[in-house]
Amino acid sequence: MDIIVNGKNEEIVSQTSLLDFLTSKKIHPDRVVVELNTTIIEKHILTDTIIHENDRIEILRFVGGG
């Protein structure tokens, strides 16, 4: 099924959780903030949050330079 990740289309299998998705991208959940359809998902529910078709996911990292 199709989803949008950081503004770009991606395809994933159904029943993927947000944590599975991060793991598949080798992203450590402690290093990012995940927003699903404009709502920030708390870390402890990443594993229970299942991604649905056409969901918009933003994986945000703090940028500290200046």
Tell me whether residue 51 is exposed, middle or buried, using C-beta atoms within 10 angstroms of its C-beta: 0 to 12, 13 to 18, 19 or more. Answer: buried
Residue 25 touches another protein, criterion: CB under 8 A: no
Among the candidate windows 9-17, 18-26, 36-44, 45-53, which touches another protein by CB under 8 A?
A: 36-44
Q: Is 45 in the site for another protein (CB under 8 A)?
A: no
Contacts of 8 (CB under 8 A, 6+ apart): none
Task: Please report whether residue 26 would count as binding another protein according to CB under 8 A.
Answer: no
Task: Return phi, psi of residue 13, to 5°.
Answer: -80, 155
Summarize as ranges the residues that interact with another protein (CB under 8 A). 6-7, 30-31, 33, 35, 38-40, 58, 60-66
